[in-house]
Amino acid sequence: MAEASGPIFEGIPEPKSPDVVVLAPRMQGAPLPTPEQVLRFGYSEDDWEDFTLEWVHALGDPYVYVKRMGGAGDRGADIAACLTLQGTDGEWHCYQCKHYLAPLMPSDAWPEMVKIFVAKVQEAYELPTRYVFVAPKIGTTLSRWLLSPKTLKKKFFEEWNKEKSKLGADLDSADRAAVEALAEATDFSMFQPADMGFILKVHRKTSHHVRRFPQQLPARPDVEQPPDEQSIQEAVFVKKLLDVYNEKHGLALQNLQEARAHHKTKGHLVDQREAFYSAESLRVFARESVPPATYRAIEKDLYHAVVDVAAGPYSDGFERLRHVLIAASGHQPNQANILAPVVTGLDKKGLCHHLANDGHLTWCKEEEG
């Protein structure tokens, strides 16, 4: 089973992450519980299915559709991951979520296996080509049998054929016979365990992970230098800088190249673009590490720290920009926000240009109104 950063096909809707600000983990005191401990002892069945759905979306298998099916009437499938547009009428994988404090035992697995056979017999689904038990902990006996399809099948039928067995006891004679025949014809290698280490390795690459398991953030990558050519994303902020330079120096600069070539503006322009791209690297890092609201809180906090400064009377746009950048440099992000420790002084200046880029700040008076 390959791993990847997200679903193969863009058409798969991602699980929606709650719009929350992730707080920094405690710096002192008792150690935080491990993700394994949180999952096993701190989750409800619904939480577990939500978590599993996030993991399935992050797998590299070519799923064109992923659907949470859990609840009444799920017919033995908590999460259906479909490999074709035929959905569960075509090839698909079943992820069966089981959340117990005790390890998952064979007695927990048998009824679920019967359900999926019954669903096929009663034409609710096609039989999945992969049926994965997803549990915080799978017991030793079941783990061993799942690694030996022949043994698993033998043990299943031993339980099925026991006198007064509860497996299939609620079926009429025709369906019971059909289920038995289907199970006899099935390769039990379709039944597989999900390894918790692998689950967490894949889930760790999603933005959901830090929300569920507040730990220290990974190291932030180095900031790349701005490209020589102006990118589309910086068009507005560069135009506002050109207005500043033209107003202050009585110039008529029209583009980035002219400003970069002029001795009065090139040094300042280089510094501002470096700040802009530093803030952009923070935005990308946050997008890949935390829910969106966590980054927005950093940006909003800075905006409120500088907006009154930007509103003051100044002789020209350059002075307004200079005072805003000074205020931004002295601003301290909310230390409860998990991103706060990785926000640099250059980021804070760059965030001002991002806010200008988005129309929230402006420098020259003629732009106002």
Please report which confidence band the pLDDT of residue 7 belongs to, taking 50, 70 and 90 as the band edges.
Answer: very low
Dist. CA 199–CA 202, nearest whole Å: 5
Predicted local confidence at residue 195, as pLDDT: 93
- Contact assessment for residue 337 and residue 20, using Cβ atoms and an 8 Å cutoff: no
Predicted local confidence at residue 207, as pLDDT: 78
Better pLDDT: 313 or 206 = 313
Instruction: Give the CATH number, domain containing residue 94.
Output: 3.40.91
**Same domain for 248 and 199:** no
Predicted local confidence at residue 5, as pLDDT: 37
- Contact assessment for residue 303 and residue 355, using Cβ atoms and an 8 Å cutoff: yes
**Same domain for 174 and 63:** yes
Q: Give strand pairing partners of 3.
A: 59
Please report which confidence band the pLDDT of residue 276 belongs to, taking 50, 70 and 90 as the band edges.
Answer: very high
**Same domain for 247 and 362:** yes
**Same domain for 275 and 165:** no
Please check the confidence at residue 257 and state whether its pLDDT lies above 90.
Answer: yes
Predicted local confidence at residue 264, as pLDDT: 97
Each residue's pLDDT tens digit, 31-71? 677 888 889 888 999 999 999 999 999 987 789 989 998 66
Dist. CA 130–CA 124, nearest whole Å: 17
Residue 226 lies in a domain: no
- Which of 192-201, 231-240, 265-274, 288-297 is least confident? 288-297
Domain end residue (candidates: 159, 184, 212): 212
Residue 12 lies in a domain: no
Residue 19 lies in a domain: no
**Same domain for 182 and 78:** yes
Dist. CA 83–CA 251, nearest whole Å: 60
**Same domain for 308 and 196:** no
Predicted local confidence at residue 328, as pLDDT: 97
**Same domain for 346 and 250:** yes
Provide the domain count of the chain.
2
**Same domain for 197 and 117:** yes
Please check the confidence at residue 364 and state whether its pLDDT lies above 60.
Answer: yes
Each residue's pLDDT tens digit, 8-21? 334 455 566 666 67
Residue 18 lies in a domain: no
- Contact assessment for residue 308 and residue 328, using Cβ atoms and an 8 Å cutoff: no
Better pLDDT: 121 or 24 = 121
Sheet holding 191-193, edge to edge: 65-68, 79-82, 92-97, 130-134, 191-193
Residue 329 lies in a domain: yes
Domain end residue (candidates: 145, 177, 212): 212
Please report which confidence band the pLDDT of residue 365 belongs to, taking 50, 70 and 90 as the band edges.
Answer: confident
Predicted local confidence at residue 1, as pLDDT: 39
Predicted local confidence at residue 202, as pLDDT: 93
Domain end residue (candidates: 160, 181, 212): 212
**Same domain for 273 and 157:** no
At 133, give phi and psi (nearest 5°): -80, 120
Share of the chain above pLDDT 90, in %: 74
SS (H, E, C) the chain: CCECCCCCCCCCCCCCCCCCCCECCCCCCCCCCCHHHHHHHCCCHHHHHHHHHHHHHHECCCCCEEEECCCCCCCCCCEEEECCCCHHHCCEEEEEECCCCCCECHHHHHHHHHHHHHHHHCCCCCCCCEEEEECCCECHHHHHHHCCHHHHHHHHHHHHCCCCCCCCCCCCHHHHHHHHHHHHHCCHHHEEECCHHHHHHHHCCCCHHHHHCCCCCCCCCCCCCCCCCCCHHHHHHHHHHHHHHHHHHCCCCCCHHHHHHCCCCHHHHHHHHHHHHHHHHHHHHHHHHCCHHHHHHHHHHHHHHHHHHHCCCCCCHHHHHHHHHHHHHHCCCCCCECCHHHCCHHHHHHHHHHHHHCCCCCCCHHHCC
Average pLDDT estimate for 161-179 = 93
Dist. CA 242–CA 257, nearest whole Å: 11
Please report which confidence band the pLDDT of residue 261 belongs to, taking 50, 70 and 90 as the band edges.
Answer: very high
Residues in the chain: 369
Residue 11 lies in a domain: no
Average pLDDT along the chain: 89
- Maximum Cα–Cα distance across the chain: 97
Dist. CA 168–CA 175, nearest whole Å: 9
Predicted local confidence at residue 3, as pLDDT: 40
Predicted local confidence at residue 218, as pLDDT: 80
Predicted local confidence at residue 17, as pLDDT: 61
Domain range for 136 is 35-212
Of 334, 331, 325, 327, which is closest to residue 354 (Cα–Cα)? 325
At 21, give phi and psi (nearest 5°): -95, 125
Residue 22 lies in a domain: no
Q: Which amino acid is at 106?
A: P
Please check the confidence at residue 347 and state whether its pLDDT lies above 80.
Answer: yes
Predicted local confidence at residue 204, as pLDDT: 86
Please check the confidence at residue 2 and state whether its pLDDT lies above 50.
Answer: no
Predicted local confidence at residue 179, as pLDDT: 95
Dist. CA 162–CA 61, nearest whole Å: 38
Dist. CA 295–CA 191, nearest whole Å: 41
Residue 8 lies in a domain: no
Cβ–Cβ contacts within 10 Å for residue 38, how many?
Answer: 17
**Same domain for 105 and 206:** yes
**Same domain for 242 and 112:** no
Dist. CA 278–CA 281, nearest whole Å: 5
Each residue's pLDDT tens digit, 105-157? 999 999 999 999 999 999 999 999 999 999 999 999 999 999 999 999 999 99
**Same domain for 244 and 189:** no
